[in-house]
Amino acid sequence: MVNVQPLDSEPRRGEGTQQVDHPTSQVAVFGADKPLRLDSGVDLTPFQIAYQTYGALNAARSNAVLVCHALTGDQHVANVHPVTKKSGWWETLIGPGKPIDTDRYFVICPNVVGGCMGTTGPASINPKTGNPWGLEFPVITVRDMVRAQAMLLDHLAIDTLFACVGGSMGGMQVLQWAASFPERVFAALPIACATRHSAQNIAFHEVGRQAIMADPEWRGGRYFLEGTNPRRGLAVARMGAHITYLSDAALHRKFGRKFQDRENPSFSFDADFEVESYLRHQGSSFVDRFDANSYLYLTRAMDYFDLAADAGGVLAHAFKGTQTRFCVISFTSDWLFPTSESRAVVHALNASGARVSFAEIVTDKGHDAFLLEEPEMFAIVRGFLGGAGKARGLPQNLAGKAKN
Amino acid sequence: MVNVQPLDSEPRRGEGTQQVDHPTSQVAVFGADKPLRLDSGVDLTPFQIAYQTYGALNAARSNAVLVCHALTGDQHVANVHPVTKKSGWWETLIGPGKPIDTDRYFVICPNVVGGCMGTTGPASINPKTGNPWGLEFPVITVRDMVRAQAMLLDHLAIDTLFACVGGSMGGMQVLQWAASFPERVFAALPIACATRHSAQNIAFHEVGRQAIMADPEWRGGRYFLEGTNPRRGLAVARMGAHITYLSDAALHRKFGRKFQDRENPSFSFDADFEVESYLRHQGSSFVDRFDANSYLYLTRAMDYFDLAADAGGVLAHAFKGTQTRFCVISFTSDWLFPTSESRAVVHALNASGARVSFAEIVTDKGHDAFLLEEPEMFAIVRGFLGGAGKARGLPQNLAGKAKN
């Protein structure tokens, strides 16, 4: 009963969310016989997953790499984004001859459940009402995202992933994959993430949610129906979150105390400093491509994430008996998911007897480093996948292809 | 022409700002002959300063201690707050027998210019229009705050401060005092502060300002006139700022991932986690005592603060030839004004040949440590003031008075 056509009811939504039910992507639709059983106990049905693929699946179906996106990312990891017209968010890492080499691997990147780029989320049409779900959409978890991705793999007849890769919320999904479906993940690459959200992480997210819900145009989440748009609340949420993605040093290097288009203070509330005008731009451009309710749902999913709690309070139990090989990467100046969080993963994996390598990369770029041109990260990803590929029996020696 | 009566026009303002022109404090009013010349070039006139005093000025007028408050503080440093009914914000530090001993020192704490507790600010009545100033109030700087305080000292016929003490924005004022009026400051105690706001500091403030200005009830700052109240925007600003006042470790110790009144997630957008409900409380209680426009003006003043820039780019020049003795204090877990910023002050003072001592206090309480029960800080303040008092020729040996 699975087909690849989008739901055909016509959504009523504002700008920036035209991709919700009819994305510029492949779509897998799961009908009433394939509900997504959520952690909340609710069955989400019908639902669809939008995804992009790159490269070709080999005959043994053994070269699939699942890429999991971060909070505000989406499936357009290695192609021009249909809304922003910008390059894919990991196009430096993924492509022919690149560290995640699409000449060797079949890369799949799905939009997460709760997202707004084609996978079912709060902006999607609720078939029971014909209106966007809004806050009637069930609260989802990282485990729900992963469960949905496993259904996508079934749909694609891929039994085992060669590798599962992601940063930030994407890294949480990688860890959840390794915990929920260890036999389906040959190699796992969680980057710049943690096994749980700290109180400070939750606090920052809560401020963002309150900014959205404080916007009168949010209308209890019914803004599509009421013809409003909580742009300002969402922009403030994005601005605040954006600070946490950068290090103090990176902000200083980029902006310092430089004035914007002037030499002296304006003695006004204009964006005097470059960093102010940069943040305002981050806020206002974000709202053109993201749904405010999706932001609420996905931040909530990250806050709820707690792999140890799910394993009876002992993180190592989450990975008990795992055969997956792991490569954990963190960045020295990442204060959102500091290295100590990655070390905790490594210690738990050690305690589980798992194969694990760990790299802490020295950079002043903060959490965002995982999205940036980081040659050391590129080399580690390439090397780890190469070694794992050998162990997996994937063909080696694609001479003359390496570009990074 | 200076008198101590408040301006007598009747303000039209909302809840929480009943102290604006008629504070429960002493008030010094400066008429047309005593304008406050602002850095922006504007003369603020008439204006008033609300202040509290504790202890008695000695006959030599040599035992005055000026206490400068932080962004959201006010003059009620050592008495019950007239609005919140809570203890003064430094009542643990200031009082009879306490480190800042009101049996020995005459303590003065004024509300800053731009504030909302009785000193002229954007919520005050603009005598030219009979309406609250709102955004017509001139943009002010930390130097303007200090200039106004110097006028208050003139009014009180106090030539030289025995000591000037403050934390955070209060510490900035202390540094500005030492730079602007070195001959009037015998001893200076800047705590948990910096000589300039970093790009990250500015960024956090800008998010707060945008949260306020995004609230439709802000009405371009004319909310008093329009009978609205940007409570939600101000609360979001406060919530975001509050995270920066605490360390990750303090939040973890205080809240961790504990659920509020339940054992499992609610799968909703209620305040599931204790840290969420704590932040919401911080936001909503703040708006009962603070003016949104004041928040804009004071954060702007902090962003503009740059002592080195005012001294031709060389921080040491700001303190050239100073006779003031300094005690600089920072806290290990303060990431808003990290120890490195205090060290920069100490280095500049060393380069100026100033008498300076420096203490970095080990604590996990973050920036807020300066407001908390910190025995080491108390001991340092007591000791430093005691030594300075000896040098100043203040009477020693108040036997049996020490309580902290």
Q: In this structure, how many other beta carbons lie within 10 angstroms of the beta carbon of residue B86?
A: 12
- Closest-CA residue to B192 (of B18, B329, B362): B329
A-B C-beta contacts closer than 8 Å: 155
* Active-site annotation holds for B334: yes
- Based on the fold, state whether residues B172 and B229 are members of the same structural domain: no
Question: pLDDT at position B17, please?
Answer: 62
pLDDT of residue B130: 94
Better-scored residue on pLDDT, A6 or A160: A160
Q: What is the DSSP letter of A301?
A: H
Neighboring chain B residues of A213 at a CB cutoff of 8 Å: 269
Reported confidence tier of residue A64, pLDDT bands at 50, 70, 90: very high
User: Cα–Cα–Cα angle for B395, B397, B400, nearest 5°?
Assistant: 135
Q: How confident is the model at residue A160 (pLDDT cuts 50, 70, 90)?
A: very high
Nearest residue on chain A to B306, judged by CA atoms? A257
pLDDT at A9 over 90: no
Instruction: Determine how β-strand B355-361 pairs with β-strand B64-68.
Output: unpaired
Element (H, E) at A390: helix A375-392
pLDDT (0 to 100) of residue A13: 55
Helix, coil or strand: residue B190: strand
H or E element that contains A251: helix A248-254
Q: What are the pLDDT digits (tens) for A91-140?
A: 999 999 999 999 999 999 999 999 999 999 999 999 999 999 999 999 99
How many independent structural domains does chain B possess? Answer: 2
B262 and B138 within one domain: no
Q: Please compute the mean of the pLDDT values over residues A270-296 and round it to a whole number.
A: 94
Predicted confidence band of residue B9 (pLDDT cuts 50, 70, 90): very low
* pLDDT of A11: 40
Q: What is the CATH number of the domain that holds A130?
A: 3.40.50.1820
Measure in Å the smallest separation between the Cα of B137 and chain A Cα atoms: 10
Cβ–Cβ gap A236/B211 under 8 Å: yes
| Average pLDDT score over residue span B329-353 | 97
Q: What is the pLDDT of residue B316?
A: 94
Question: Would you give the distance in Å from CA B167 to the centre of its chain?
Answer: 7
Q: Are residues A236 and B243, on separate chains, in Cβ contact within 8 Å?
A: no
Q: How far is A9 from chain B (nearest CA, A)?
A: 27
Residues B139 and B238 in one domain: no
| Residue A3 predicted with pLDDT over 90 | no
My answer on whether B130 and B172 are in the same domain is yes
Tell me the shortest Cα–Cα distance from A267 to chain B, in angstroms: 5
Phi, psi of B102 (to 5 degrees): -75, -5
Do residues A324 and A185 share a domain? Answer: yes
* Of the candidates B64, B81, B22, the residue with the CA atom closest to the CA atom of residue B149: B64
Evaluate whether residue B17 is within a structural domain: no
* Residue range(s) defining the domain that contains residue B334: 26-199+306-392
How far, in Å, CA of A31 to CA of A1, rounded? 6
Whether B200 has a pLDDT exceeding 90, the answer reads yes
Residue A349 lies in a domain: yes
| Of B119, B202, B101, B209, the residue nearest B155 (C-alpha) | B119
Looking at the structure, tell me whether residues A269 and A360 fall in a common domain. Answer: no
Helical spans, DSSP H, in A156-247: 169-180, 199-214, 223-226, 231-245
B215 and B157, same structural domain? no
> What is the identity of the amino acid at A401?
K
A266 is catalytic: no
* Domain shared by B244 and B108, yes or no: no
Per residue in B91-127, pLDDT (tens digit) is: 999 999 999 999 999 999 999 999 999 999 999 999 9
B15-36 residue pLDDT tens: 556 799 899 999 999 999 999 9
Closest partner residue to B296 (CB to CB) among A204, A269, A280 is A269
Domain-located, residue A253: yes
Q: Would A8 be classed as within a structural domain?
A: no
In a domain, A283, yes or no: yes
Mutation for B interface: A236, A287, A296, most B CBs within 10 A: A236
* Cβ contact A235–B257 (<8 Å): no
Among A275, A299, A323, which residue terminates a domain?
A299
From A216, A232, A240, residue closest to B240, measured CB to CB? A240
Residue B331 and residue B156 in contact, taking contact as beta carbons nearer than 8 Å:
no
Same domain flag for B67 and B142: yes
- Whether B303 is catalytic is no
CA angle B384, B387, B393 (to 5 degrees): 135
Q: What is the pLDDT of residue B260?
A: 85
Share of chain B above pLDDT 70, in %: 94
Per-residue pLDDT tens digits for A235-249: 999 999 999 999 999
For chain A, how far is it from start to end, CA to CA, in angstroms? 42
pLDDT per residue as tens digits for the range B265-305: 889 898 899 999 999 999 999 998 999 999 999 999 999 99
% residues pLDDT > 90 (chain B): 88
Average pLDDT of A12-40? 86
Q: Are B76 and B89 in contact (CB under 8 A)?
A: yes
Contacts of A268 in chain B (CB under 8 A): 139
Distance CA B365, CA B246 (A): 6
Pairing verdict, β B26-30 and B47-54: antiparallel
Beta bridge partners, B37, equal B43
User: In whole angstroms, what is the distance from residue B360 CA to residue B343 CA?
Assistant: 9
Average pLDDT over residues B142-163: 98
Question: Is residue A403 predicted with pLDDT exceeding 90?
Answer: no
Q: Is the pLDDT of residue A263 over 90?
A: no
Q: Do A273 and B248 touch (CB under 8 A)?
A: no
For residue A234, the domain's CATH number is 1.10.1740.110
Using 50, 70 and 90 to split pLDDT, how confident is the model at A197? very high
Bridge partners for B131 per DSSP: B126
Spatial separation of the C-alpha atoms in residues A403 and A387, rounded to whole Å: 18
The string of pLDDT tens digits covering residues A198-227 is 999 999 999 999 999 999 999 999 999 999
Q: Is residue A400 part of a domain?
A: no
Q: Residues with Cβ < 8 Å from A143, sequence gap 6 or more?
A: A39, A176, A180, A310
CA distance A222 to A228: 8
B227 and B193 share a domain?
Answer: no
Q: Is residue A208 part of a domain?
A: yes
Does residue A191 form part of some domain? yes
- Grade residue A271 by pLDDT with cuts at 50, 70 and 90: confident
Worst-scoring range by mean pLDDT, A4-18, A258-272, B229-243, B318-332?
A4-18
- Tell me whether residues B251 and A279 touch, CB distance under 8 A: no
Is A240 in contact with A207 (CB distance < 8 Å)? yes
pLDDT of residue B214: 95
Per DSSP, chain A holds a count of helices (H) and strands (E) of 11, 14
CA-atom Rg of chain A in angstroms: 21
pLDDT reported for residue A260: 85
Spatial contact of B356 and B349, defined as CB atoms under 8 Å apart: yes
In chain A, pLDDT over 70 holds for what percent of residues?
Answer: 94
**Does one domain contain both A369 and A288?**
no
Query: In terms of domains, do A311 and A235 share one?
Result: no
Choose the final residue of a domain: A276, A299, A322: A299
Are A379 and A344 in contact, with CB atoms under 8 Å apart? no
Shortest CA distance from A265: residue in chain B: B304
Burial class of residue B46 in the structure, from the number of CB atoms within 10 Å of its CB (0-12 exposed, 13-18 middle, 19+ buried):
middle
| A contact test, residue of B141, B259, B269 with most A CBs within 10 A | B269
Counts of helices then strands in chain B (DSSP H, E):
12, 14
Say what the pLDDT of residue B329 is: 98
d(CA B166, CA B370): 9
Task: For A284, name the nearest residue in chain B, comparing CA atoms only.
Answer: B210
Mode of pairing for the β-strands spanning B26-30 and B36-37? unpaired
Closest of B378, B336, B376 to residue B360, by C-alpha = B376
- Percent of chain B that is helix, strand, coil (3-state, to 5): 35, 15, 45
Which tokens hold the place of B225?
């006139």
Nearest to A17 by CA among A216, A299, A298, A293: A293
Residue B215's closest chain A neighbor by CA? A215
Strands B185-191 and A64-68: what pairing? unpaired
d(CA A232, CA A327): 39
- Of A101, A197, A367, A368, which is the active-site residue? A367
Distance CA B85, CA B76 (A): 11
| Model confidence band, residue B74 (pLDDT cutoffs 50, 70, 90) | very high
Q: Which residues of B touch A279 (CB under 8 A)?
A: 203, 206-207, 210
| pLDDT at B14 > cutoff 70 | no
Q: Given pLDDT bands bounded at 50, 70 and 90, which one contains residue A264?
A: confident
Residue at which a domain ends, from A253, A272, A299: A299
Selected catalytic residue, list A168, A180, A330, A352: A168
